[in-house]
């Protein structure tokens, strides 16, 4: 708050460059974490919140007829044009924003003051929700070829690696340490991803300090051990993501790339992805095109082309596709590096992992991938995102490009990802907002030194709580899509308007397919809830008649013993033997046994009541009237193939107060016929007979002609 000299400014205009009408006045508030603009007029009094750490640049322009302009360009690509009345006040706000947006000390970042009012236990469990090392367990590691070692627990091997790394089981600690001394920033080759189907591995590291002639036996042994973890392949790819010219220039500085003469069975490939400085300049040119107020088609397309942004996205995707095919098709392991192994290497390994493994296309999978390949492996978030006041030449949109690559894949495979575009945008926002501790510092060691796990909160629980907002309604499930094979021909690489013109509402489509689908799913869920509540009220208000349950139980019992057409007419055809045979086998009993079985049915009605409530509700819903008998003159007679006359209900222990009328005598236990109906006294009009006039004859023939009509 020391930097805020003017916390509130009135009569401030927020200018929309796509709206020609005169901007309304509002009030500008400046807090320790946000700049807030509130419209002075209008019933809704619309608010615009801008996180201070989102602000990339603040520009104070010359005074105009409207007043003193102040332009904010944000890291999430929002551009806000304010006009203040007073030049002095405008200057005070300008100075405050410069200091607040890029503090000098990490402790001044938003994450250290953010307090969501959660307990210490909740904060600690939040940090444990997503753990990078758990992903290796999913891959089946440790196993006979790979092991997890905590040799870097004190960051003695590599200060920018996590405490636990995965290396070949056959190598010694001395070999790992020796190799690290031969790699830039001591970033020794370690496992990134294991494709379990064929044991092909993706490993990552930094460039070797080889120069033109230097070699390292430990490094050569480590690469040989990595190759031997995949017995199905006779070689291993070494992928240098840089342009070859850049790698050769590094050789002159004592670095460079592996000499194929010194490493057994490796095949070398350059990918041609440019460095951080080229990417930063490319994004700047892209944003200049995006800020054109009324660009012509020619201006936009030529500007997009000259920025080179889509070419860079294509290069990253091509590298990921190459690694994917090497692992899946050629069954070869791949070692990936760039210069220091924390920018282009992270991009390419992550894209390849998403192409190979559908797990990384889920909510949890993407969070683990970011934690594993970016956060724990030392992507320099603090410098690349410009969290603190420092060298602007270290800022570069490396992580933004990675999210852009995911979006390109989502455009080609819209049903393969559990999350939608908004999930990517939300992650992008919080990488720059500094609201959570995950993306602070440049490596794991930095975050431990800052004690972010004790003083800040993790972003992942926050995102998990909002999963309904980020769910892809077109997602087909985890197993529907295996390895993805995207196309990178020019017309398949698109400009992501939702990212780079996200806040320019005048450029957005009037209707969004995603938003419409999400709204439909939301309404459907509400309707399902209403239906459930109505069903509960119906059950509580209107219990089903006893005769319905009793008849249903009778039908179930007869079906159990005879395969009766009461519930499954066609099932009766599978009964072997005549009625006497069934009785001899104990399947049916004579009068006494049948009475006992009927008594048992009556006692079970209460227990089985809920199983038939749906039937009762359905009958009531359609307001049964008339003749809806299942076999009231329906031709089931003679279908059951049992002859005789059996017409007594008294014998079975039922009386007419149960609503079953007619006669059903058991005569000699061989002949069954009768008239079973639900009496009209139970509130049903017409004839709703169950086996009404359903003479049963010809038991031995097992021929049937079933029909059902009203």
Provide CB contacts within 8 A for 529, sequence distance 6+. none
Ligand-binding site membership of 311 (annotated): no
Contact assessment for residue 60 and residue 92, using Cβ atoms and an 8 Å cutoff: no
Whether residue 261 is annotated as binding a ligand: the answer is no
Tell me if 342 is assigned to a ligand binding site: yes
CA 683 to CA 649: how far, in whole Å? Answer: 21
The answer to whether the Cα torsion of 628, 632, 634, 640 is positive or negative is positive
382 marked among binding-site residues: no
What is the DSSP code (8-state) at residue 200?
A: E
**DSSP characters over 432-460:** HH--SSTT-SSSHHHHHHHTHHHHS--HH
Q: Where are the beta strands (DSSP E) in 112-257?
A: 146-149, 165-168, 190-195, 200-204, 236-240
Q: Which helix (H) or strand (E) is 427 found in, with range?
A: helix 421-433
Nearest to 265 by CA among 230, 232, 237: 237
Q: Is 623 annotated as a binding residue?
A: no
The conformation of residue 656, written as its DSSP 8-state character, comes to: G
Hey, is 155 helix, strand or coil? coil
- Phi and psi based region of residue 540 (left: phi greater than 0; alpha: psi -120 to 50; beta: remaining): alpha
Instruction: Tell me which DSSP letter residue 482 carries.
Output: -
Contacts of 144 (CB under 8 A, 6+ apart): 169
Residues contacting 664, CB < 8 A, separation 6+: 646, 647, 648, 649, 651, 652, 672, 674, 675, 676
Helix (H, G, I), strand (E, B) or coil at 68: strand
Please, are residues 231 and 192 in contact by the beta-carbon 8 Å criterion?
no
d(CA 337, CA 250): 13
> Which stretches of 198-305 are assigned E, i.e. beta strand?
200-204, 236-240, 266-270
Residue of 193, 262, 251 whose CA lies nearest to 224: 262
Instruction: Please name which of 499, 505, 350 lies closest in space to residue 428, comparing C-alpha atoms.
Output: 499
665 is in an annotated binding site: no
Cross-strand bridge partners of residue 267: 237
Q: Which of 338, 385, 434, 443 is catalytic?
A: 338
CB 222 within 8 A of CB 175: yes
Cis amide linkage into residue 90, ω under 30° from 0: no
Q: Three-state SS across 506-572?
A: HHCCCCCHHHHHHHHHHHHHHHHHHHHHHHHHHHHHCCCCHHHHHHHHHHHHHHHHHCCCCCCHHHH
Whether 338 is a known active-site residue: answer yes
Does residue 344 have a known ligand-binding role? yes
**343 among the known binding-site residues?**
yes
Give dist(CA 226, CA 167) in Å, integer: 8
**Annotated binding-site members:** 275-276, 338-344
Q: Which residues are annotated as a binding site for substrate?
A: 275-276, 338-344
Active-site residues, by number, are 338
């Amino acid at each position: 708050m020391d930097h805020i000299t003017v916390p509130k400014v009135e009569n401030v205009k927020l200018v929309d460059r796509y709206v020609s009408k005169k901007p309304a006045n509002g009030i500008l508030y400046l807090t320790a974490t946000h700049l807030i603009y509130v419209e002075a007029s209008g019933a809704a009094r619309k608010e615009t919140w801008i996180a201070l750490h989102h602000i990339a640049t603040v520009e104070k322009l010359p005074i105009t007829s409207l007043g003193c302009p102040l332009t904010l360009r944000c890291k999430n690509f929002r551009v806000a044009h304010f006009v203040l009345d007073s030049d002095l006040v405008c200057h005070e706000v300008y100075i405050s924003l410069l200091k607040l947006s890029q503090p000098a000390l990490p402790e001044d970042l938003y994450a250290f003051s953010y307090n969501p009012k959660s307990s210490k236990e909740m904060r600690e469990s939040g940090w444990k929700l997503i753990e990078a090392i758990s992903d290796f367990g999913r891959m089946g590691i440790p196993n006979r070829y790979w092991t997890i070692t905590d040799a870097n627990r004190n960051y003695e091997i590599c200060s920018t690696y996590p405490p636990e790394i995965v290396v070949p089981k056959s190598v010694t600690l001395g070999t790992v340490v020796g190799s690290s001394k031969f790699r830039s920033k001591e970033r020794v080759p370690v496992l990134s991803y294991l494709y379990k189907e064929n044991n092909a591995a993706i490993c990552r590291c930094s460039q070797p300090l080889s120069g033109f002639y230097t070699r390292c036996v430990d490094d050569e042994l480590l690469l040989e051990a990595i190759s031997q973890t995949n017995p199905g392949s006779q070689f291993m790819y070494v992928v240098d993501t840089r342009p070859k010219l850049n790698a050769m220039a590094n050789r002159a500085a004592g670095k460079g790339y592996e000499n194929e003469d010194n490493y057994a069975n490796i095949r070398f490939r350059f990918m041609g992805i440019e460095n951080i400085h080229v990417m930063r300049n490319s994004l700047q040119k892209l944003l200049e095109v995006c800020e054109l107020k009324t660009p012509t088609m020619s201006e936009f397309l030529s500007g997009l082309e000259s920025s080179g942004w889509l070419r860079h996205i294509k290069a990253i995707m091509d590298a990921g596709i190459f690694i994917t095919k090497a692992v899946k098709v050629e069954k070869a392991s791949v070692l990936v590096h760039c210069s220091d192994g924390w920018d282009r290497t992270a991009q390419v390994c992550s894209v390849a992992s998403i192409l190979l493994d559908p797990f990384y296309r889920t909510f949890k999978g993407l969070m683990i991938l970011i934690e594993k390949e970016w956060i724990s492996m030392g992507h320099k978030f603090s410098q690349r995102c410009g969290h603190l006041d420092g060298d602007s030449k270290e800022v570069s949109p490396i992580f933004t490009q990675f999210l852009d690559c995911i979006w390109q894949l989502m455009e080609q495979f819209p049903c393969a990802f559990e999350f939608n575009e908004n999930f990517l945008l939300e992650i992008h926002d919080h990488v720059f907002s500094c609201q959570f501790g995950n993306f602070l510092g440049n490596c794991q060691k930095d975050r431990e030194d800052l004690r972010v796990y004790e003083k800040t909160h993790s972003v992942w629980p926050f995102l998990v709580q909002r999963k309904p907002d980020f769910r892809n309604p077109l997602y087909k499930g985890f197993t529907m899509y295996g390895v993805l094979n995207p196309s990178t021909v020019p017309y398949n690489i698109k400009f992501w308007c939702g990212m780079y013109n996200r806040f320019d509402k005048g450029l957005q489509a009037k209707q969004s397919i995603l938003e419409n689908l999400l709204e439909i799913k939301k309404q459907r869920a509400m309707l399902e809830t209403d239906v459930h509540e109505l069903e509960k009220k119906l059950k509580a208000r209107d219990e089903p008649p006893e005769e319905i349950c009793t008849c249903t139980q009778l039908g179930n019992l007869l079906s159990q013993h005879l395969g009766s057409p009461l519930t499954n007419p066609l099932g009766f055809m599978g009964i072997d033997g005549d009625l006497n045979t069934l009785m001899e086998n104990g399947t049916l009993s004579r009068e006494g046994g049948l009475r006992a079985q009927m008594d048992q049915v009556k006692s079970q009605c209460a227990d089985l009541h809920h199983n038939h409530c749906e039937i009762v509700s359905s009958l009531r819903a359609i307001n049964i009237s008339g003749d809806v008998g299942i076999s009231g003159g329906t031709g089931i007679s003679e279908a059951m193939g049992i002859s005789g006359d059996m017409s007594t209900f008294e014998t079975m222990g039922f009386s007419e107060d149960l609503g079953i009328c007619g006669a059903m005598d058991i005569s000699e236990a061989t002949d069954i016929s009768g008239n079973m109906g639900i009496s009209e006294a139970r509130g049903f009009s017409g004839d709703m007979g169950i086996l009404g006039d359903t003479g049963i004859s010809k038991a031995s023939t097992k021929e049937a002609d079933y029909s059902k009509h009203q």
